[in-house]
Amino acid sequence: MSNAALSVITSDPPEKWQEILADLITDPKELTEILQLDSGAESRLAHFGLNRFSLKVPRPFAQRMRPGNWNDPLLRQVWPSQLEDEVDCSLSEDPLQERTFNQATGLLQKYRGRVLLTAAPHCAVHCRYCFRRHFDYAANTPGKRQWQETLEQIDGDSSISEVILSGGDPLAAGDSYLKWLLTQIDTLKQVTTIRIHTRLPVVIPQRITSSLCQTLASLECKLVIVIHCNHGQEIDSSVQLAVQKLRATGATLMNQSVLLKGINDDATSLVSLSHQLFDINVLPYYLHLPDRVAGTGHYLVNEQEGLDLITKIRALLPGYLVPRLVREDPGSDSKTRLG
C-alpha cells in the first residue's frame, strides 16, 4: 500500500462521529426545510407511528438526499409516512417471533452454529421499515455483568462458532465498550468468526475511526462486516473511505439490503447498487423481502415481484453481483432462499 493510501486509513475525519450522533435530525419539520419540501408535509406525516418510533436522520445521510423530491429513495427510507398509521391486521409487531427466541439477555439464537447479540440499544438512523421497530431494547441491553453471563452461556455451547453483533446498531456504541465486548468474544475458544451487522459506515461514515479499526484489526477471530445499504445513492466518497478503512483491518465485507417498494424494487436500482458496491469492494449478500411488521405495509414487495426482479437482474449481472433473495420464516433452521 502506498504511503498516501495508508495515511488516509490511519487518519480520522475532522468531524467527530459522536457529535454527529448527538445532533441527528429528529424534527420532521427540520428535515422538510433542509430538503425544501414545503408543500403538504403535515398531511404526509404519521402521528401514531412517529410517537412509537421517532424520527432519526444523521445529517451526512440527509446530505445525500435530493432536495425537492418526496420520492427520493433515501428520504423514503426515513420519512414517517402517514401510511404507517393505517391499521392492517395481517401485520404484526413481532413477525419473526423474536420474543420466543430470546434466551438470555442480549442473545438470540435461531440458527445452528451462530448466535446474535443485540450489542447496542440504539441506532444512528431510524429506518421506517425496520423489523425491530417494536423490539424492547431496554429489556435486552445487558450491563457488563449480564454480558459475562451471556458469554459464559455461549462458552458452554461448543456448537457455536460464530458470534454476530447486531442491534440496534453495534457501531452506535462507543469504542471502549466495543473493545471490551469484542475482546471478550475473541477469547472464547470455539468462536472462530465475529460478524458485525451495521448501517453506520453508510449513515455516519465518520464512525469508522482509527481507534475502532485498531480494535478490529487486533482480533484473532475472522471478521465479517455486513453493511446495510439499500440504494446506490447512499454511497459517496465518504462511505467509500469508511469501507476502505474497514477492509484494511482484514475484514471480509458484504452488503445486505431490504427490497423496498418505491425505493429499490426495480432492476435499474438493483443493478446500479450491485455495481456501486463492487466499485467499493463490497459484495452483495442478502436481499431481504421485507418482514410483515406493523406500520410498514407501504414498503411491502411480494414474493412474486421479488422473484421477477431477481430473474431480471440475473440477466444483467455476473453471478457474484446477484444478491441472494431471502425471506425469514419463524421456526425455520435458516433463512428461506427464494428463486
Distance (Å, whole) CA 21 – CA 203: 10
125 contact, one of ligand PLP, ligand SF4, none, CB 5-8 Å limit per kind: ligand SF4
Residue 260 touches ligand PLP, criterion: CB under 6 A: no
Stretch that binds ligand PLP, among 2-10, 110-118, 130-138, 242-250 (CB under 6 A): 110-118
- Residue 228 as a binder of ligand PLP (CB under 6 A): the answer is no
Which does residue 335 bind out of ligand SF4, ligand PLP, none, counting CB within 5 to 8 angstroms by kind?
ligand PLP
Helix, strand and coil percent figures for the chain, each rounded to 5? 40, 15, 45
- 126 contacts ligand SF4 (rule: CB under 6 A): yes
DSSP state of 86: S
Shortest distance in whole angstroms from residue 139 CB to ligand PLP: 17
Question: What is the contact mask toward ligand SF4 in residues 138 to 177, using x (rule: CB under 6 A)?
Answer: -----------------------------x-x--------
Q: Based on the shown chain and the rule CB under 6 A, indicate whether residue 335 belongs to the binding site for ligand PLP.
A: yes
Hey, what's the cell of 251?
Answer: 475484514
| 71 burial via Cβ count (<10 Å: 0-12, 13-18, 19+) | exposed
Q: How far from 170 is each of 46, 120, 127, 161, 315, CA to CA, in Å?
A: 28, 5, 15, 19, 36
User: Is residue 127 a contact point for ligand SF4 (CB under 6 A)?
Assistant: yes
Minimum CB separation from ligand SF4 for residue 166, in Å?
7
Given candidates 130, 164, 270, 293, which one binds ligand PLP under the rule CB under 6 A? 164
Alpha-carbon distance values, 163 to 115, 139, 225 (Å): 5, 20, 12
